[in-house]
Structure 1
Amino acid sequence: MSIKPLYDRVVVKRLPAETITRGGIVIPDKAAEKPTQGEVFAVGGGVPLDNGELRPLSVRVGDRVLFGHYAGTEIKLDGETYLIVKESDILGILETAKTEEQAA
């Protein structure tokens, strides 16, 4: 089964939470906070404008994004948990640093 969000909605799959701190301390699952990073799974058609046109969304499928702790609505689809958020609830897109070889 697949899902196609409407308008400015985005389906995000949360990335796994860090269970070990930088100092090597193991955090139990119950004490860990829900992750605020995820990967975009599906995007809607765009934001409706006053003139009836749709403005495309800034995020694309596969982007890694940051969102708030209480953003969106959780859904279960085929045994997986996803989060549906509005584009405005996404705080930023995480970009990886390119190596010199990739940039050339």
Structure 2
Amino acid sequence: MLKPLGDRVVLKKVEKEENVTKSGLVLPSSAKEESNIAEVLAVANEIDKDEKTAGQLKVGDKVVYSKYAGSEFEIDGEKVIVIKYEDILAVIE
């Protein structure tokens, strides 16, 4: 697993469900728009210690992040994104 440094967070994208039109047509995966919702896998120690952000984000939270933010990697067959904390827009409750 990746251990983020500085003000970084490791996320795993949450896949959107398959697109089906009202008439029942299934849209191919190439027509799907990528989701910008992800699950937090790891949070850097710097964020945990910062008084402003402490406790706001924890492993397992589902978040919305900026569409073009971060760098995508594949680790052990799993796609993850390393993103700056400031690029996280909201926590889904």
Count of residues paired in the alignment: 88
Equivalent position of 1:14 in the other structure: 13
Q: Give the match's secondary structure for 1:6.
A: coil
Contact 1:41 1:61 in 2 (8 A): yes
- When residues 35 and 3 of structure 1 are mapped into structure 2, their CA distance, relative to the original with a 3 A threshold, is same
SS at match of 1:30: helix
The structure where helix makes up a greater share of residues is: 2
RMSD: 1.7
- TM-score (norm: length of structure 1): 0.75
| Matched residue SS, 2:32 | coil
1:90 matches 2:74: no
* Distance change >3 Å, CA 25–CA 37, structure 1 → 2: farther
Q: Report the CA distance between 1:59 and its aligned residue.
A: 1.0
How far residue 69 of structure 1 moved from its aligned partner, in angstroms, is 1.6
Pair 1:60-2:58 in alignment: yes
**Correspondence for 1:33:** 33
Q: Does 1 or 2 have the higher relative contact order (CA < 8 Å, sep 6+)?
A: 2
Is residue 70–residue 84 contact of structure 2 (8 Å, CA) maintained in 1?
yes
Runs of 4+ in 1 over 6 A off after TM superposition: none
Could you tell me which amino acid in structure 2 is paired with residue 81 of structure 1? K
Q: What is the aligned-residue identity percentage?
A: 39
**Bigger Rg over Cα:** 1
Distance in 1 separating the partners of 2:65 and 2:21: 22
Give ranges in structure 2 of 5+ residues lacking alignment. Answer: none
